[in-house]
Structure 1
């Protein structure tokens, strides 16, 4: 193996530095350090000059490895897969942080130091971990990260009076909620939000009949995921769209509602009334078998005539593992 590496070095030496800079952008700090640092002085110098590197921290001990100690001040993207306390103070250049599990209290306190974060992503928590964790949503929505542009969080709870401040830098947000009343609170706290990916937890709490909050004028894309509920999907969607009149893209994915199928006629009226600027649309909804026969009898053309964005209609029958599904979209594919 050593002979193979030794014989490859002259070939590598003939390549220009610019090529290595391009290649090294796609390698983690561990691969960079283990693979190139000890080859010769030239490669060690190239590694020393890198200013935009990516790190993966699977265990707590990796933070003290030679690779992380060498690159720490130049790591701009970091992925963390453990829940042990982390000292983030060496990562002064960090701009993007991904946590594979919901952070515990100790990690949350450390993450507050990363005031220059632009991207923050938290994967869904494990069930056994969720009970001793604390959400990052409070820190995000109190503008602890004033440069934050894109964020994915887990559940954001509702309180009558949130201790939040405005987060003017945030443009993209991906969250789940269990109470629809937190929706206008989030919109108010994020006045520059352009893309909102919103998931409702199964059996979420009763939605109000109307929101009395001001409209959010910046939002352009809303992606909804509606899980099992006893409430009418038309009622919920009408409520949500009432605050975002400038929406141009709407995507809805939903499980079968206990309040029966979505009323396509009423839904089309809601789109006309609430989001007149809409130019792109996607709906994928679980439906009862009875709707299949109804739509086949009425013909797909009847659905297409309800709204100009109802261009492509697909009804998939149920299988042993999946319910019947209705798909309506403005574009093919």
Structure 2
């Protein structure tokens, strides 16, 4: 557009983002969020242009072409938003798009939450640079907190911007990239503030059922990934550990004894994992690095939230005869309920064992 003042536009966007994200944290924190998102937006280019350019990496072009088939399937068959998201590509030149910093008190499993007007309250703070995340982690450790820093390959802006396929996502393989597109577009279709378990379980169900239909549409057999079963087994061990720790932290023990018993629970987790690995996955050490690294409360926070209510959404999908528009309409009805009513309604959709609500 002739005469467009790009610097002023950029400044306006930073102010807009700070307003949208607003809250009580420092201006510098929101400044890095706004700058990071702006840089990501600036790196975007149409996927169609990359695919059509013979000078680009052939493997990248093939990968993106397959991703666009999944993108069309998402809108045409799964009735997910039909917009520019994941029809753009951005190479941001680093292995993760953001680094999330999780923190808890030393003897608590409750996260230090951070609340934003759009996304609601979340159990972490995100940084667009590893240095920024490490700086925040150091401050939290100085305050006596348990801290964990996790690199994140992708995130959703919930439809506020056209989210691109990132170079950070390309190492997952074609099918995993497709499932991520289904998952993130599900968040764009519907999102409830302050209910991570609901949002992630809903999007995980759309991802899983969408992948089954995506494979069937291409004449591929249904596959239960062996590694998915391994992740489920590890998750169960972690959730059991979290339950024991939660009980431990309610006891009136002196800090020294509490630390000893806390360390013993983490060592029990390691021993149970090794026994499970050696009995069921001999020679497979894919989780060894995670389990052998330092463990603390914060490192356990992400487990379980993505799967908690998946069986409920599967039951809901069956109730509406596997009709996607009807399914989304019912999901929106659930999202309008008060939190306790929502949990009760989700529980009623599961015909077998009751689900224990997971607090991150």
Q: With the length of structure 2 as denominator, give the TM-score of the two structures.
A: 0.23
Higher strand residue share:
1
Greater RCO, CA 8 A, separation 6+: 2
